[in-house]
Each structure stands twice: as structure tokens, then as C-alpha cells.
Structure 1
Amino acid sequence: MDNHQALSSMDLPFVGRGRALGQVSDVDLRLLRVFMAVVNSGGFSAAEPVLGVGRSSISTYMADLETRLGLRLCHRGRAGFQMTSEGEQVFEAATRLFRAVDGFLDDIDSVHQTPRGSLALGLADALVSLPEMSITHALARFSADFPAVHVHLHMLTPEQVEQGVLDGQLQVGVVPARHRLEGLIYQSLYEETSALYVTPDHPLAIMPQAGLEEALPDCEAVSPEYALPPAGHALQRQLRSTATASNREGMAFLILTGRYVGFLPVHMATPWVAQGRLVSVALPTWQFSTAMLAIYRREQRPHRLREGFMATLAQVMSNDSA
């Protein structure tokens, strides 16, 4: 039986004119998780990679939840996804519910001499090739120190990572520095340098450096849909954008077509440069740095596993810099 069958095969009691839910079951919690993922992602399609299921399954889950609650939670159609007023109230109530559940699990974990439970981390894409492997080393040491803890690693957009940490679905996130949100604590990790790249057969690859600065604005460029730091944004605005990409892997795909010039993190481009598939546009002024940050939610209640991971990360970074 698949997940959808398991969810929809449950009886749907407790719906009527009286109290909508006589009790909260595992199915209700799963459906509420789906609802929160849809809201945080901004729609059904955007939630597909987060939930790992297709749009039709998500639509069915949402319909099941609305039936169980006896409420209309959202409007969906050509105008896009939009919560109803009832949906907004359910979302706020669900956020409080899962925070309470997390608090309960923390309390139970503290009873055990050996910490148990799960640690959910959210990372932006294309970080695995960073030479500074603080997160990787911290996860290795954390898993050795907390063998009974299950680690969930989610690859998401920076916006999804931030929202997941705010909602309590993620304990720790790693994102590029863009802005500071209320309710989050930020810890600096390292700097990431980005430069311009083209394929070896691109006109910029064989052009004398003296002519690069003048020729660059006329070349077709790929621009990111994700936010850049101010220095990167200022450089990107000078390029003639004829394509866009939602993440850095998408940037690489388009640059590797040979048609476009675009920015990539140096650590990400290095393997393709070594293979002779990419070359850097030799303009030192056309580079920028992005600060990478670890984030977690600001709250009075301690989270044992999150604090354990952050302490491990701090120790790893201290050893790496020594």
C-alpha cells in the first residue's frame, strides 16, 4: 500500500457540525505536514520536491485534510495558491502544535542517558564541493557522538531553509547571507567566491583580456532567480540576461551549453575546469564573495540535539582554523 492509499484508506470520522476533530491521529499530523509544506513552498507544484510526491497526490492529501477538518483551507487555480482565512488560522494552529510536539520529544529525549530522536538540517544546493567541509565533518562527529539520533538532510532553496527553521521543521540550516530575519540566529561559517565562466569554445574564452570588459555586456548571459549579495547583484545587472536558472546547478547546466556566460562558485566549477569543459573569464573585478551562514531558531526553550550539533560545528570550525 502506498502513502496515498495508507492516508486515504483511513476512516474520516469526527467531521460535522460539532467539534471537527474528536482526536488527532497520525494521519492528521501527516496531512498537516503536507499543508505546511505547501504553504511554506508557496503552492502545490513548488512543494513537490520538498514532499517527494507529485502534484496530484498533494491535491488529494489537501482534499482529505479539508474533509477531516470540515474547512476550506485554500484556493487553487489559475490565480495560483492562496490560503483562506480559515487556512491561515489552521496554519498558525499547526505551527503551534508541531512546536509542542517537538518540545515533548525533547523532554522524552532528556530522560534517556543516550540522546535519541531526529535532527533535521536544511542546506542550499551545491555546497558539497566546498573545500571547507565544516558541515560534513561536524555531521560525522555528531553521528559518532549521538549514534541513536537519526539525521535528516534536506536540499532546499535558501527561502525554504529559512522558512523550515522558522517553522521548527528544521533544527539547523545553512544558507548564503542575504538578509536577517526576526526569530533566527545567524552564525558565520565561511566565504564562497564566485566568478564568471564559459565553455572553451565560447568567444570570451579566446578573446584577449584587453577586450573582455568591452565585449562582456553584449554576450548572452544566464542570471539566477535566487538572491545574490549586493556586489554580485551589481555585476549581474551589467550582463545581458537571456536565460534564468532557479539554482546553481541550473546555472551550470546553461553555461555548459556553450551559449551563455554566467557566475558559478569557484569550488563548484573547479571539476569542470579540470576536465576542460569550463574556463574562467579572466577578469578579477568580475568576482564576488558570499558569506555562508548557519541558522537556527531563536527560542527560550533549549533544543538538546540542535545545541549538540551547533557545539560540534563550533568545535570543528575551531580545529579547522587552528
Structure 2
Amino acid sequence: MLNRLQESDIKLLRVFYAVASCNGFTAAEPVLRMQRPNISAAIKKLEERLDLVLCHRGRGGFQMTKEGEVVFQETKRIFNAFDNFVFNLKSLHDDYSGHITLVLMSSLPLSLSQAVSQAVKSTMQKFDDIHFNIQTRLYNEVEHVALSGECHLVVSSYDMVKPESLVFHPLGVANSGGLYCHESHPLAKYREEFPDKVRLEDYASIGITGLSSSNYIGENQRMSIHTFSDSFESCMAAILTGNYLGLLPHSLVNSNPGLGLVQVGGVDFSFKHEFYAINGKNTILNPVLKHCIRELAYFATKNS
């Protein structure tokens, strides 16, 4: 069992990280500039060091084990932290080069995703030796990711009390949505408002983990949360069964027409969460990151 990381272990982890990211040994060859036998030998040595089986390889193709998935996620976190450390260190010497890790909340509206692409392109054009690692995380993970040093910036909405340990840069756009059900649901006919006889607590709802406003809505009525999802997409899948009410962004519904989703309760049951570029207070906002944040806000507003 591994008790202490050595330099050779880090090299082996980089091989495994590339193989797992490429989903196979052959696909990782050009990335690692290594031949398959050498890659296989490195993975085998890493498995011996960790005393774990990380992946299965053979005629059935490449497949990570449960232990391999955990090691992969931890390896990603470590290497993100390494890249961020190097980037921040270079910034102290006015050397603006390296990798920026940008984390996006899942279920971003298309217009905001386009703004991210435009801001990334603008930043890479202005600073010659800058590259971006772009990742997606669930809503309930974004605060931890921003605080942990795993990334430089997070693009996300935020509906909770803002902690002092994070810095929020408004992007000038919001995640707007409402209460939805499937057209087969008993409440589907009440699109403008609910009559007094309707009590929301009598109908099962689905919430979003980490999104506090998904647990309640309106001033006087509380949703009856029977289960939770980890994203708006999975929430939508549950709503489509016809068994649940739930909050969805209008952008997600509009991008999936013809599914029979119906907004109910009218404006009294709507929400609006502002989008931000978020960073931890320990993050060094050098000219590269400041430029990226400005461009995010510019293109987000322009595309809305």
C-alpha cells in the first residue's frame, strides 16, 4: 500500500490520468508519446504501488474499476491544484502563461456557454501562452471547488447567502425559471395560477441538491419534496414521468421542445438566480484572470 507519494508515483499517476481521460491505452499513446507496452507497464506498476486494480483491459475494451474511478477523480484534483500552483507562482514573476482551470455549473444556458467560449478565445488571443482546462460540476459542488483551490474560476448561479471566503463577479445575466410538470400531471391545467383548493404539499415534488430555493416556492405554499436530483437535467427526467413537480430553467425547457413540459402556477412560482464568475479569496487575480472575467461579463450580456 502507498504511504507516501514519490516523484515516480506522480509520473505513473500522469500516465493513468491520460489513459482514463482518453478512455483507453491506444487513444492515450499520442497524448503520452509512449508505446502501448510501456503504458501498460506503467499502469501495472501503479496498481502494484496502490495495491488496487484500477482498470480492466482486454477484448471487452478499457473499463475502469470503482477504485479506478476514485483514483482518477483524486488525481484530477491533484493535477488541477498543481497547475494552479504553477500558474499563481508565475504570476508573482509577471509571467502570464500556463493553464487556467475554469469550472462551469451543469445546465448552463446555451447563451452563457457561448459567452464562455468567446471569453476563452479572447483571453487566449490576448495572452500567447495561456491554455484552459474547462470542466463541469454539479451545482452543489461549485462552492467547494472554488474554495479548495482546484480551479481559478467558477461560472455558476448562486442562490444562498454568499460566504466571505468567495468573491462574486456579476455577469449581468440570470438563470430564470418556474415550476413545471408534465402535461399528464393533474396540475398541468393550472398554468396561470392555482385555485385556493390546490395545496402543493399534496403533490410530490423533486428538489435539487444544494439549491435551497428548490425546496420551497411562493410566499405561502411549500413544495412537498419526496426526492432529490443532482442537476436540472435529472430533475427534468423525473418531471417527465408525470409524477413530480419541480423547478426548471426556462432555457432548459426551451432547448428541449416537444417533451410535454408545462409551466404551472404562473409568475407567483418563478425564480431568478444571478450568474457569477466566482473565485476563492486566495486566488491571485492577475491580468489574465481579470481579462477573462471582464470578457465573460461582456459576452454574457451581449448574448442575452
Q: Same fold (TM over 0.5)?
A: yes
Tell me which residue corresponds to 1:101. Answer: 86
Tell me the alpha carbon deviations over residues 66-94 of structure 1, each in whole angstroms, 9 at most, x when there is no partner: xxxxxxxxxxxxxxxxxxxxxxxxx9xx9
Q: Mark the CA change 1:98 to 1:320 in structure 2 (over 3 Å): closer, same or farther.
A: closer
Tell me which residue corresponds to 1:296. Answer: 279
Tell me which residue corresponds to 1:254. Answer: 238
Tell me which residue corresponds to 2:68. Answer: 57
Instruction: Give unpaired runs (5+ residues) of structure 1.
Output: 1-7, 34-51, 65-90
C-alpha contact 2:178 2:248 (8 A) present in aligned 1? yes
Q: Partner amino acid for 1:244?
A: F
- The TM-score, its normalising length taken from structure 2, stands at 0.66
- The TM-score, its normalising length taken from structure 1, stands at 0.63
1: CA distance between counterparts of 2:71 and 2:118? 41
Q: Does 1:204 align with 2:202?
A: no
C-alpha contact 1:98 1:168 (8 A) present in aligned 2? no
Q: Tell which deviates more after alignment, 281-290 or 311-320.
A: 311-320
Q: Mark the CA change 1:216 to 1:130 in structure 2 (over 3 Å): closer, same or farther.
A: farther
Q: Mark the CA change 1:129 to 1:303 in structure 2 (over 3 Å): closer, same or farther.
A: same
Out of 302, 313, 316, the residue aligned to residue 296 of structure 2 is 313
Q: Partner amino acid for 2:166?
A: L
Tell me which residue corresponds to 1:142. Answer: 123
Task: Tell me: higher relative CO, structure 1 or 2? Use CA pairs within 8 A at least 6 residues apart.
Answer: 2
SS of 1:205's partner is coil
1: CA distance between counterparts of 2:303 and 2:230? 32
Number of aligned residue pairs: give it.
252
SS of 2:170's partner is strand
Out of 139, 142, 154, the residue aligned to residue 158 of structure 1 is 139
Give the alignment of 1:230-309 within 5 angstroms: 233-235=215-217, 238-272=222-256, 274-299=257-282, 301-309=284-292
Question: 1:171 Cα deviation (Å)?
Answer: 0.8
2: CA distance between counterparts of 1:127 and 1:160? 15
C-alpha contact 1:192 1:291 (8 A) present in aligned 2? yes
Instruction: Give unpaired runs (5+ residues) of structure 2.
Output: 18-62
Q: Does 1:116 align with 2:127?
A: no
Tell me which residue corresponds to 1:227. Answer: 211
